[in-house]
Amino acid sequence: MTSQAYGAQNLTRQIVEKGLAQSFAGASVQAQDMARYCLIDWLGVSIGGIPDPVCTIVTKQALWDGGRPESSMVGQTTKVPAAAAALVNGTLSHALDYDDVNRAMNGHPTAPVLAAALAMAQANDATGEQLMTALVAGYETECRVGALVYPEHYRMGFHATATIGSFGAAMAAARILKLDIDQTEVAMGIAGTQAAGLKSMFGSMCKPFHAGKAAQNGVTAARLAAAGFTSAPDVLACRDGFSRTHSSVFNPEAALAEPTGGYHLNNNLFKYHAACYRTHASINAALQLKEAHGFSADDVAQATIRIATDADKICNIAEPVSGLEVKFSLRATAAIALLGFDTAAIETYSDEVAVRPDVIAMRDKVTVELHADMEGNHSVLDITLTDGRQFSASCRVGIPEPDLALLHRRIDAKFEQLVAPVLGSESCAKLLALCKRVETLTNLGEIMRLCQTANA
């Protein structure tokens, strides 16, 4: 990175121009399809997260604060100010750590963007198509910002969902408000100066709170920009701006490059285990070995997970004592997979499961080896059985599902598994059907009504 790289041309404005050029109607068929399924997945994990304690706390706080009734919180009948709804819904959507991922952003893209877009869409009586345009614009923008500082931003200890998500949320909110290019650049500056979130908080309630704060940051940034608030120009590239202070890497070429197929959305990664994405490769390896060789949990003498070094700062809590910590423990997630727990079930990641004697015993058979030469989404699991047999499986995640029909079936099933127990089968089916034609809706009232729980 050189000093000449900063501010040579207004990089923020170039990224803003690309974001403002996006629309749902003008997107490719595949990008439209992925956007709909981002919405479906987001609503599913948000509704599934309603009973989570972190969601109860932030919802109570929003109701306590009160204010102008503009936007709905998922699961609630009472409306709150748009910024508060964005905070609550963003937190809800990341509470289970079951929401989608994009490697360009190096975080969870839909959580902050859709929470901001939905809050602003309700506050401004926007249509379903306007909501989806905001989602596409915000998603593509945050992936460009992520590519700009990848990978050092994350390695330095920042949670990209919180920091980079603030920019995506600002773009989404700006699209709903129909801000012009000057106002949107200001909104990006306001978002950038708010952007915060530490990886040290993984395994605590602060991690889902990061997604909510990013969404709230975006709503606040866009509204302030619309009101005439100012910020320094070119927040991404200016002296002491976001890139200089948040990463040792500055790659404008990557930020401005056109992604494969024209959309970062096409590379969206959905989660099928309700734990940190970096545990998924070793979970898959454990499940593959059990299926291939037919051994039981009692047959396992020891197991070794080989994984990239940076996993140590993300998901290597050695002795988790809570369900939240289990989600960020390579040893514990491998253990529950080997023991036959359903790794897609929310109840698997409970405080009770974390301290079960059988889980602890299996966890203590698992060793984690960190390797600097391994890719981040690659894991190798070596297992030795009590009879001396040894097996190994190498698994990679981070590859988008090429079979869209299969993807649809898997996300539909995930949605039903999460939503039906909370809302009931009838409301679940109606909500899923509405999401699949969201761009035809004149407003979002029916979707939000269906999201209300019986005890709201």
pTM of the model: 0.94
Whether residue 349 contacts residue 194, with contact meaning beta carbons closer than 8 Å, is answered with: no
The span from the CA of 294 to the CA of 349, in Å, is 25
Which stretches of the chain drop beneath a pLDDT of 70? 1-8, 454-456
What pLDDT does 4 receive?
38
pLDDT 10s digits, 309-329: 999 989 999 999 999 999 999
pLDDT recorded at residue 456? 60
- Architecture of the domain whose range is 277-396: 2-Layer Sandwich (3.30)
Phi and psi at residue 369, to the nearest 5°: -110, 130
Q: List the chain domain ranges.
A: 3-270+427-450, 277-396
The reply to whether 277-396 shares the fold of 3-270+427-450 is no
Task: Give the pLDDT confidence of 80-132 residue by residue, as tens digits.
Answer: 999 999 999 999 999 999 999 999 999 999 999 999 999 999 999 999 999 99
Decide: 304 and 381 in contact? Cβ < 8 Å: yes
Superfamily the domain 3-270+427-450 falls into: 2-methylcitrate dehydratase PrpD (1.10.4100.10)
Distance in angstroms (rounded) separating the CA atoms of residues 454 and 16: 42
Supply the pLDDT for residue 7: 46
The letter for the amino acid at 354 is A
Q: What is the pLDDT of residue 376?
A: 83
What tens digit of pLDDT does each residue of 261-304 get? Answer: 899 999 999 999 999 999 999 999 999 999 999 999 999 999 99
What is the spatial order of strands in the sheet that 366-371 belongs to? Answer: 366-371, 300-308, 378-385, 390-396
What pLDDT score was predicted for residue 233? 96
The pLDDT, as a whole number, for residue 1 is 36
Per-residue pLDDT at 3: 33
Exposure class string for 352-378: b at 16+ Cβ within 10 A, else e: ebbebeebbebbebbebeeeeebebbb
β-bridge partners, 316: 329
